[in-house]
Amino acid sequence: MFGISLIVLILILTLMAQSRDLKESLAGYETRAEALSQQIEEEQARTQEIEDLKQYMLTDEYAEQAAREKLGLVKENEIIFQEEK
């Protein structure tokens, strides 16, 4: 009877130790899941910014701005001021 009680006690202690280890693993996985969720939200925001920029680049306003900056084009009757060197 004592032997059986000892074996049952050992089994219960083993199960408790494994349960504790599983809880620690679960907490680690939950932390990782939260971090990944945050990363997904950041990437979705970045994707939206890229999509907005893509839509802006299709407008005439962007084409005009690019022509002014890169090619130095100006509108009619527009005066350009330059600094003296």
What per-residue confidence (pLDDT) applies to 81?
74
DSSP string computed for 34-72: HHHHHHHHHHHHHHHHHHHHHHHHTSHHHHHHHIIIII-
49 found inside a domain? yes
List Cα–Cα distances, 77 to 5, 65, 73, 80, in angstroms.
101, 17, 12, 10
The pTM of the full predicted model, rounded to 2 decimals, is 0.57
State how far Cα 65 lies from the chain centre.
31
6 found inside a domain? no
68 found inside a domain? yes
Between 81 and 12, whose confidence is greater? 12
Domain that holds residue 66: 43-72
What per-residue confidence (pLDDT) applies to 73?
79
How many structural domains does the chain have?
1
pLDDT in tens, 46-84: 999 999 999 999 999 999 889 888 887 788 877 777 788
61 found inside a domain? yes
30 found inside a domain? no
